[in-house]
Amino acid sequence: MPKQFLKKYMPNPEMLKRHKNLQFLGEKLHDPNLWHLNRRSVSIAFAIGLFCAWIPTPTQMALAAISAFYFRGNLPIAVGLVWLTNPITMPPLFYFAYRIGLSVLNMPSAAEFSLDAVLSGGLWIPFLTGCLIMGVICSTAGYFGVQGFWTYHARKKWMHRQEKRGRKPVNPFRAIY
C-alpha cells in the first residue's frame, strides 16, 4: 500500500533520465536506488529530506539531491520533503528552531528582531543550533518512522495473505523470546 500510494505521485524516471538539463549527471542518474520504492531507499530519503528541510539556505533542494545521490536514497522523495519548509511554514518553524536553540544554549531571548541583532550574530548561534537539533530529531524520527510503518504494513499484509489461504496466521507482531 505505501508503495502504490507513493508511485502515484512520483515522476516518471525514464522521462527524468532523458531530460536535457539532467544529462550532466550521466550514469549516476540510472542508479535504481534513486528511483525504486523500497524500505531502505524511502527511509533514507525521509532522513535526508527532513534534515535538509531544516538547513536555512536557499540550496536545500540541491543539498537533498546531492545527499540522495551519495547515500543512494530515493531522489524525488528526498527533494520533495524539503518543501516541509516552504515560504508559508518557514517563519514559524525557524522561529521554533530559534527558541529551541535559546533553551539549549541557555541564552536570553533577544528583545527585538532588528537588523543590528542579525548582523551582530546574536541571533545566528541559537538559530543554527536549533536548526541542527531539529534536523537531527526530524531526520531520525522520519527514518525510523518509515522503517516501522513499512514493517508494520508488510506484516499486516502477510497476515492477510495467510488468512486468505485458510492458514491460521502466526501473529508477526508478537515478540518471540
Convert the pLDDT of each residue in 111-135 to its tens digit: 566 666 666 777 888 999 999 999 9
125: in domain:
no
102: in domain:
no
130: in domain:
no
Q: So what's the pLDDT on residue 15?
A: 66
123: in domain:
no
Q: For residue 162, what is its C-alpha cell?
A: 495467510
113: in domain:
no
38: in domain:
yes
Q: Is 112 helix (H, G, I), strand (E, B) or coil?
A: coil
Confidence at 156, pLDDT banded by 50, 70, 90 = confident
**Number of domains observed in the structure of the chain:** 1
Q: Count CB neighbours of 49 within 10 A.
A: 28
Q: Is 81 helix (H, G, I), strand (E, B) or coil?
A: helix
67: in domain:
yes
Q: How does pLDDT run across 93-113, given as a tens digit for each residue?
A: 998 999 999 999 988 876 566
Residues 6+ apart with CB under 8 A from 158: 169, 172
Percent of the chain's residues with pLDDT above 70 = 71
Torsion of CA 31, 34, 16, 142, to 10 degrees: -170
Containing domain of residue 52, as a range?
2-91+136-164
Phi and psi based region of residue 102 (left: phi greater than 0; alpha: psi -120 to 50; beta: remaining):
alpha
120: in domain:
no
Distance CA 156, CA 81 (A): 27
Kindly report the pTM of this predicted structure.
0.76
Picking from 146, 155, 104, the residue whose alpha carbon sits closest to that of residue 126 is 104
